[in-house]
């Protein structure tokens, strides 16, 4: 097994993205719902600036991808920023499953998946009697999204800050405004949209100019994730020209954001929600046949982590269609007991099914929900270090 494929469990006790969000709340004097980062990762005061805190989330920029870009010499501004950071680029973990729909909810609520309830990209929701895509909130076979309101289980960080009189601003893609997923994440924040990378620092400056006191500013950029899906993620042993080129543009944006933070007196926190692992399209497995026919409902989860309901573990482990394609098969109960989700999943354990399947190295396990199957060159959700290990860069003021 390559180093990038070793299993890494979420470090909910003080070394995960959940704890980053908890430390931001603590920096504003608000009691967080989870533990803050451990002292060795974040000594007291480093998330606090006289004008507040800026959180920049670079979707899918795992620690391995960042290290590869740094080694290339093509991100000199970010390299200099890391050199100036008191602790450089540290390594923390994502959550499980290490996928955007779950991770962004953890960053938005300072809570592990077991608490906020979004436990995967595709989820069986008993209250709706359907498997639902948690990015567009559409049940399988429908183009009409469900409401996000019944899925609210815990306040957002923005709502918690608002109770203390701290305003929050979310700067993200304009196309996301008003969608159920964004509504779930952004409750309590002012929304500012952008149409391109250069608008991120522009919108941030407008928000900082208009502020009359400390505030929290959350910035999000998704394109490393998109390019990694299409062109494979960039790792030292698996170069990706597309991702490296994107990093050159991100380098410029981060430099502008850092300059604004220094000028206005904001602490800057840079993190990723998860990483990416390379996939081999020729190793894609389409799930069909006897195993599928034995399920109570269509598979949930994602191409890297399947949730299967109505079957036993030994039936899944022995399935010929999965032979040589699986890294690990565990029961949902075992995963919960081993703290993969950060808690007991009270009332929502049905969302992960009876059996969880982790795809093997380079493997994606696909299911045709009626629109075909689409192999990718990179993805995430699993527990490999490429998927789980993300950078934490803190520039205090």
- The predicted-structure confidence for 268-314, as pLDDT tens digits, reads as follows 999 999 999 999 999 999 998 889 888 999 999 999 999 999 999 99
* 124 contact partners, CB below 8 Å, separation of at least 6: 130, 131, 132, 297, 300, 307, 309, 350, 351, 353
Least confident stretch, 40-49, 53-62, 230-239: 40-49
Q: Has residue 69 got a pLDDT over 90?
A: yes
pLDDT band at 390 (very low <50, low <70, confident <90, very high): very high
- For residue range 80-139, list pLDDT tens digits in order: 999 999 999 999 999 999 999 999 999 999 999 999 999 999 999 999 999 999 999 999
Query: What pLDDT score does 42 carry?
Result: 87
- 217: pLDDT strictly greater than 90: yes
| Per-residue pLDDT at 83 | 97
Query: What is residue 1's predicted lDDT score, i.e. its pLDDT?
Result: 39
| Enclosing H/E stretch for 331 | strand 326-331
Please give the share of the chain, as a percent, with pLDDT higher than 90.
92
- Domains of the chain from N-terminus onward: 3-119+143-277+384-395 (3.40.720.10), 281-379 (3.30.1360)
**Rounded mean pLDDT, 55-59:** 98
For every residue of 97-133, DSSP letters joined together read: SBSHHHHHHHHHHT--HHHH---SSEEEETTTTEEEE
Q: Alpha-carbon distance 346 to 336, whole Å?
A: 10
Query: So what's the pLDDT on residue 113?
Result: 98
* Residue 344: predicted pLDDT: 97
- Phi, psi torsion values for 365, nearest 5 degrees: -110, 115
The DSSP symbol for 148 reads S
In terms of phi and psi (left: phi > 0; alpha: psi -120 to 50; beta: otherwise), the region of 137 is left
- The mean pLDDT of the chain is 95
pLDDT for 44: 72
Q: Is the model's pLDDT at 2 over the cut of 90?
A: no
pTM across the whole model:
0.96
pLDDT score recorded for residue 5: 64
Tell me what pLDDT residue 182 has: 97
Q: What is the pLDDT of residue 4?
A: 55
Largest CA distance in the chain: 63
> CA-CA distance, 266 to 212, in Å (whole number)?
13
Q: Is it the case that residue 196 has pLDDT exceeding 50?
A: yes
Segment 378-389 mean pLDDT: 98
- Cα–Cα distance, 300 to 71 (Å, whole number): 38
Task: Taking residues 38-55, report their average pLDDT.
Answer: 91
Helix (H) or strand (E) holding 291: helix 290-293
pLDDT value at residue 3 = 54
- Stretch 238-252: mean pLDDT, rounded? 97
183 alpha carbon, distance to own chain's centre? 17
């Amino acid at each position: 097994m390559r180093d990038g494929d070793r299993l890494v469990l979420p470090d909910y006790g003080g070394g995960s993205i959940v704890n980053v969000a908890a430390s931001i709340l603590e920096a504003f004097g608000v009691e967080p719902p989870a533990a803050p980062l451990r002292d060795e990762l974040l000594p007291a005061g480093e998330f606090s600036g006289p004008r507040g805190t800026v959180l920049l989330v670079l979707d899918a920029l795992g620690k391995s991808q960042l290290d590869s870009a740094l080694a290339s010499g093509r991100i000199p501004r970010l390299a200099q920023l890391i050199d100036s950071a008191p602790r450089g680029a540290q390594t923390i973990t994502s959550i499980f499953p290490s996928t955007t729909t779950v991770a962004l909810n953890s960053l938005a609520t300072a809570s592990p998946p077991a608490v906020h309830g979004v436990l995967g990209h595709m989820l069986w929701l008993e209250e709706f009697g359907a498997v639902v895509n948690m990015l567009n909130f559409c049940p399988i076979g429908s183009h009409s999204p469900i409401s996000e309101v019944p899925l609210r289980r815990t306040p957002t960080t923005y709502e918690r800050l608002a109770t203390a009189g701290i305003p929050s601003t979310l700067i993200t893609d304009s196309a996301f405004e008003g969608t159920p997923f964004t509504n779930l994440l952004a409750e309590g924040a002012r929304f500012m949209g952008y149409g391109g990378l250069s608008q991120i620092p522009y919108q941030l400056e407008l928000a900082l100019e208009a502020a009359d006191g400390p505030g929290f500013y959350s910035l999000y950029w998704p394109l490393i994730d998109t390019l990694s899906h299409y062109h494979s993620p960039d790792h030292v042993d698996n170069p990706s020209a597309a991702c490296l080129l994107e990093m050159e543009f991100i380098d410029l944006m981060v430099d502008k954001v850092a300059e604004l933070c220094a000028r206005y007196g904001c602490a800057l926190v840079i993190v990723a929600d998860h990483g990416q692992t390379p996939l081999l399209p020729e190793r894609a497995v389409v799930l069909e046949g006897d195993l599928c026919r034995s399920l109570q409902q269509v598979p949930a989860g994602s191409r890297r982590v399947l949730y299967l309901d109505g079957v036993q573990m030994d039936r899944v482990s022995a399935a010929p269609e999965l032979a040589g394609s699986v890294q690990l098969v565990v029961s949902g109960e075992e995963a919960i007991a081993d703290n993969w989700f950060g808690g007991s999943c009270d009332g929502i354990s049905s969302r992960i099914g009876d059996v969880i399947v982790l795809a093997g190295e380079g493997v994606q396990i696909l299911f045709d929900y009626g629109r075909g199957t689409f192999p990718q060159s990179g993805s995430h959700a699993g527990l490999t270090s490429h998927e789980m290990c993300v950078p934490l860069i803190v520039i205090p003021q």
